[in-house]
């Protein structure tokens, strides 16, 4: 008695089923891998686009800040210029009464026979050119300037004699006493 058992067909069917399942799983894994790769690519592209948008926004803001810094520099330059102009105006405003005071003092100290022909002012220093008939009048004029409360001691730099007139040049410093309004020299 021999019994024939045929084991091959069920093994072959099982092998075919396993092979089909493996191929289906392989295709599913490939599809999942491709889908995951595509999803990751899309995700990273969106992240890159968002980052580029942030960079563009930062560049725009930096350009705006640079423009504002430039404008601020221009405003600061204008402020410096306006302050300088204001200082000049204030000096002129305070110098106006001083100039009048100096001229009044010059007129008050002018001696008979002396004529001023030129006046040059540089800061608090005056350079006077004048004419007189005699040397005595020049020395009287120097004493009168020294006696004035507005001027310091004058310095005679040159005396030139021509015909009947004496030409002289002197320099004198001015100092302003307190004005009646209570303000002194700035």
Task: Give all strands of the β-sheet with 125-132 in edge-to-edge order.
Answer: 114-122, 125-132, 165-173, 155-162
> At 107, phi and psi to the nearest 5?
-65, -40
| Confidence label for 178 from pLDDT (cuts 50, 70 and 90) | low
The ranges assigned to domains in the chain are 13-94, 110-174
Separation between Cα atoms, residue 67 and residue 124, nearest integer Å:
45
List the one residue out of 162, 11, 137, 186 whose CA is nearest residue 170: 137
Helix axes 135-147, 8-109, angle to 10 degrees: 130
Q: How far apart are CA 63 and CA 57, in angstroms?
A: 10
The pLDDT tens digits for 98-157 are: 778 888 888 888 888 888 888 888 878 889 898 888 888 888 888 888 888 888 888 888
The answer, yes or no, to whether residue 83 has pLDDT greater than 70, is yes
Query: Average pLDDT of 48-66?
Result: 96
180 and 144 Cβ atoms separated by less than 8 Å: no
pLDDT for 65? 96
Q: What is the pLDDT of residues 8-44, one digit of tens each?
A: 777 788 889 999 999 999 999 999 999 999 999 999 9
Query: What Cα–Cα distance (Å) separates residue 47 from each residue in 50, 61, 94, 145?
Result: 5, 21, 69, 88
Supply the pTM of this predicted model.
Answer: 0.48
Which candidate, 134, 132, 127, places its Cα nearest to that of 157?
A: 127
Q: The domain 110-174 is classified under which CATH number: 3.40.50.720, 3.30.70.2830, 3.30.470.20, 3.30.70.560?
A: 3.30.70.2830
């Amino acid at each position: 008695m021999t019994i024939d058992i045929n084991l091959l067909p069920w093994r072959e069917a099982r092998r075919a089923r396993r092979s089909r399942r493996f191929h289906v799983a392989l295709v599913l894994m490939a599809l999942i891998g491709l889908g995951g790769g595509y999803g990751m690519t899309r995700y990273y592209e969106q992240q890159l686009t968002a980052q580029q948008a942030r960079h563009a926004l930062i560049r725009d803001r930096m350009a705006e800040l640079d423009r504002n810094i430039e404008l601020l520099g221009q405003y600061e330059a204008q402020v410096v210029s306006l302050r300088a102009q204001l200082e000049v105006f204030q000096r002129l405003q305070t110098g106006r009464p001083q100039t009048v005071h100096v001229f009044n003092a010059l007129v008050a100290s002018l001696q008979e026979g002396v004529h001023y022909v030129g006046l040059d002012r540089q800061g608090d220093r005056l350079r006077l050119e004048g004419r007189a008939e005699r040397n005595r009048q020049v020395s009287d004029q120097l004493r009168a300037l020294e006696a004035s409360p507005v001027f310091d001691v004058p310095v005679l730099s040159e005396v030139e004699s021509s015909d009947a007139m004496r030409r002289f040049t002197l320099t004198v410093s001015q100092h302003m006493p307190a004005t009646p309004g209570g303000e002194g020299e700035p």
